[in-house]
Each structure stands twice: as C-alpha cells, then as structure tokens.
Amino acid sequence: MGRLRERLRRQLGDPAKLRPGRGAMDPSIDPPAGTAAQAAQVQAMEQPARAAWVGVPPQDGCLPPIHRAVRQESRGGFVYGEVQLPHAWQHGGLPLAAVAQLSGDAAVLLSGDIALADFDPSRALFFDLETTGLPGRWDDRSHQYRAAHGRRNATGSVLAFLVGTVRIGPDGGVTLRQYLLRQQPDEPAVLDAIQAALAEVDFLVSFNGKSFDRNILADRFARNRMDSSRVLALPHLDLLHPSRRLYSQVLSRCSLGTLETHVLGLDRPDGEVSGAEVPMLWDRYLATGKPGILGPVLDHNTLDLLSLVTLGGHLADCVRRPETTLPEPQALAQAARLMLQRGDEQRGERLLRRLLSQRALQQVVESQGGDLQERPDTQPFDPVIYGASWVLAEHLRRQARHDEALPVLLSMCAAAGPFDLRPWRAAAIALERRLGQPGEALALVDRALAQCPIPDSSSEAHQDASAPDHAELMRRKIRLKKRLETLPSAKKATIAPAPTGR
C-alpha cells in the first residue's frame, strides 16, 4: 500500500494541493516535467491527420464527392462528411426521387406495422452502420449485446466506428452525412451527434437494422451512459423483410448487393470492399494510422445509403403497381400474398386472379419450351399456378366463399393428381360441410383414392408423406358412407365430371 501511495504522489503531486472533491490538478500547480512537450507533440501530430482526412477521395467516379473534415466537439473529435444531392440524382436504374412513393400506406403494407401509417420520407432517418464485427445476441434486460464472436473493442462489445445517415428534403433532395471515429475515446462525440439526429425524426429506415444496426446503437448509448430509449422506440421500417417476402423465390439470396444487381440495376465498382472486409480495414487503420485505408469503407457506406433510399422507392412501387414493377410471376404471387395478409384483400385477390389467367394462357408455350414439369396422366404442372391457386383458395375459404373456392381446388386436384392430397381433402370438406353435398364429397374421395392406392406397408412408399392424408381420406370415406345411409335418397347426389382445365 505504501508503494502505491508513493507512486500516486509522484504522478499527482501533493494531495493537499488538490481541489476538494475533484480529481483534476489545480491550475496553479506547475505541470510535471515533459507535459508541455508532450502536448506540443500531440498537437503537431493532429494537424497532419486533419489535413489527411480532407484529402480522402472517393474510390469511384460515380460516387458523389463528399467533403470530409475533422470536427472537434466538447466530448471528442470525429471525421464528419456531408453532401447534398438533387432528387434527380441517378443511382443505378432509379433516381433518388423514387423514395417519394414510400407513403404510409406502402410502409404498412411492406412491414405490417400500423405505427408506420403516417410514414413520410422527409420525417425519417435512413441509416447504416459499419462495425468492428458481428455480435452475439441482444439482451432485453440490459439493452446490450452479449458478444459471442467477432472483433471486439475494449469493452467487449461491437463498436460502430462509422455511422451513415440520409435525410430527405421537402423538395426530394438528399442530404447524406457520415460520422467516422478516429479512435474509441471519441465515441461520445459521435453518439451525441446521432442523438441529435434522432431527435429531429419520427421514423427510422434501414436494411436489417431492426435486428442489427438499431440494437448496436442502443448498446453503444448504454455503454456510454446515454439514453438509448429513442432509437429503440421510433417506428422502424426494415427493408430486408419485405425484400425477402417479394424476392426470396426469385433470387438466390436477398442481400443488399444482390438486390442492387438484379433489382436496382446497380453494378458496384470492381474491387469494391465487401461488408466482411470492413472490420479488417478498421484494424489495419488502427495499426498504421493511415486515413486512406478507410476510404473504401466510406465509399461502401455511401453506396449502401443511396441503395437504401432507392430500394425503399422500388419496394413501394412493388405494392403500388405490382403488375408493371414485378415481371417475375413468383414475385407477383408473393406480392398478392402480402396484400392478402396485410389487409388489402381486394387488390390481392384481383392480382392473383390476373396472374392465374395470364399463366394459363402461357402454359402451352412454356410447356413446348420445356419449362414445365410433366406429371403422368395429368395436365402440365406449373408450380407458380399451383401455389397461387392454393393461396387464392385459402383466401376464399376464410371469407366463407366456398362456392368460389371449390373450382380452384378442383383445378388443383386435376393438376396435382396423387402427388398432393391437400386439395382433395379441402374440396371434400367444402362439399360435405359447407355446401351440403355429401354425395359429391364421397365421389371425390373415391376418385382421390383410386389415383392413390393404399401404400404397401412393406415398401418405402408406406413412409411417404402422403400416407397420413391417405389414411384420413379412408376414414372420411367410411364416415361419408354411414352418413349417406341415413339420408333420404332425394338428397343423395353424385359429383359432376371433373374439370380438365383451370
């Protein structure tokens, strides 16, 4: 203990000269030898660093020129960049003005969140982070991330060393801002700027931000003893989820880069840094202190932000005008399903019926090209038509429109044959319980069982997924026979011939 006391006395001076209740040295005390020289050295190192950040150019000519400079605040300094772009600025195949279509109705359809009913792009903060690695899990009790792997900072959490934001002006113009840390002790200054930006908006827009970016910011606020409630409470439109809903059956993956290439018409420059390389470049910058190392990261963040804006406009167009925006039948069917689930049932049903009629007309042409799978002894099987038919039939059934659902189910029976017994079962239930035609229901069950013989228990076919459905149809047949025996003969009916087309 005496050795520690002596070391503190050498570093702090005489304790009697310290201000009461303060840990700082009294200004009347002469600083220890070498302090002034060290301060001069730090100041000399700071000046070249400030000039170096201003000179970091964009890595590709298609990127907007962003003026960057070191901004010194009361709680630290950071690199601040800002650029204002007109609404006609072209990013890929879309202008930035496309985001104006992202109204409250479109936001609710895309997200299913009624809190976005008053959404206005000019009142939203579009944001994207570049971090030091992937987190583990979010702890709801402490409002902090529990890092499981990846690069971590000194506190054991994920550090957001670059925060990019976009605001949409009243005229549709875009103001893009970037806040870049030079060192972790300056983080409170960046977080102060982000809190000020959050106080000016009513909504958040991100790509995977509900699961990642938003919670990373909340974690950094909490670790710096700052209020994290607003970033968590603001209504949040995460564009990743509607992108998956619309394009999961069209694209191999729904990352932002894939959507840029196949949907937004944007080809990133050759050699553009990937998100997985960002933590490595940050580590290299810390090791060398060369600002130019982070130039590609700044460009990557800029492209992400601009793509976030145009993607929002494109997705809004997908639910406003799906027939002209979505050329792929699979995406069109997903858009109709989204509308049905989010309350726009009239448009969703109309879109499904239009899709089914168009695909039926194209069926012959596609089958000649070999695009359709052929099932033996049945009409050509089109997965798009089949899936859309099931969605439409379920929608009509929920609305108790069983007389309209029945023809759709019978067309599915003709297409699937014995390979899927779900439409047979649904049609039999509709005939027996909803339409009061047990005789026709029994005839339909007999035809289904005739196409699907009883599985042999000694063969692998007995383990097929259709075995439970087959057993259910057998039980239904027995029960229908008993019911018909108790009915007068006048009420017994036979099913009409099965339709041969849709």
User: What are phi and psi for residue 238, nearest 5 degrees?
Assistant: -95, 115
As for how many domains the chain has, the answer is 2
Domain range holding 417?
A: 325-455+464-491
* Domain end call among 320, 351, 378: 320
Task: Tell whether 299 and 336 lie within a shared domain.
Answer: no
Task: Tell whether 314 and 386 lie within a shared domain.
Answer: no
Q: Which residues lie across from 81 on neighbouring strands?
A: 68, 178
Task: Tell whether 357 and 447 lie within a shared domain.
Answer: yes
The token pair at 433 is 């319980």
CATH code (residue 394): 1.25.40.10
Task: Tell whether 271 and 313 lie within a shared domain.
Answer: yes
- Residue 96 in any domain: the answer is yes
Task: Tell whether 476 and 388 lie within a shared domain.
Answer: yes
Q: What average pLDDT score do residues 422-447 get?
A: 90
CATH code (residue 261): 3.30.420.10
| Burial (CB count within 10 angstroms: exposed 0-12, middle 13-18, buried 19+), residue 280 | middle
Residue with tokens 């670790």: 223
- Residue 296 in any domain: the answer is yes
* 371 within 8 A of 380, measured Cβ to Cβ: no
* Each residue's pLDDT tens digit, 186-234: 999 999 999 999 999 999 999 999 999 999 999 999 999 999 999 999 9
Most confident option among 308-317, 335-344, 451-460:
308-317
- Residue 242 in any domain: the answer is yes
Q: Which residues lie across from 126 on neighbouring strands?
A: 166, 205
Task: Tell whether 417 and 313 lie within a shared domain.
Answer: no
* Each residue's pLDDT tens digit, 307-321: 999 999 999 999 999
- Residue 297 in any domain: the answer is yes
Choose between 82 and 3: higher pLDDT: 82
Q: Which helix (H) or strand (E) holds 219?
A: helix 214-223
- Residue 40 in any domain: the answer is no
CB burial readout 431-454, b (16+ within 10 A) else e: bbeeeebbbbbbbbbeebbeebee
Task: Tell whether 330 and 249 lie within a shared domain.
Answer: no
* Residues sharing a CB contact under 8 Å with residue 294, sequence separation 6 or more, in sequence order: 56, 162, 180, 281, 282, 285
Task: Tell whether 281 and 363 lie within a shared domain.
Answer: no
- Residue 84 in any domain: the answer is yes
* Domain end call among 297, 320, 343: 320
* Each residue's pLDDT tens digit, 65-75: 888 999 999 99
276-290, 438-452, 460-474: least confidently modelled range: 460-474
Task: Tell whether 311 and 332 lie within a shared domain.
Answer: no
User: In this predicted structure, what is the pLDDT of residue 482?
Assistant: 86
Choose between 291 and 373: higher pLDDT: 291
- Res. 285: pLDDT tops 80: yes
- Residue 106 in any domain: the answer is yes
What distances in angstroms separate CA 361 from CA 246, 326, 393, one per listed residue?
24, 18, 20
* Each residue's pLDDT tens digit, 374-396: 444 445 578 888 899 999 999 99
**Percentage helix, strand, coil, to 5, in the chain?**
55, 10, 30
Task: Tell whether 316 and 350 lie within a shared domain.
Answer: no
User: In this predicted structure, what is the pLDDT of residue 145?
Assistant: 42
Task: Tell whether 356 and 229 lie within a shared domain.
Answer: no
* Domain end call among 303, 320, 337: 320
Task: Tell whether 289 and 330 lie within a shared domain.
Answer: no
Q: What average pLDDT score do residues 30-59 get?
A: 41
Q: Which residues lie across from 178 on neighbouring strands?
A: 81, 164
* Each residue's pLDDT tens digit, 401-432: 999 999 999 988 888 777 888 899 899 999 98
- Res. 7: pLDDT tops 70: no
Q: What average pLDDT score do residues 76-91 get?
A: 93
- Residue 446 in any domain: the answer is yes
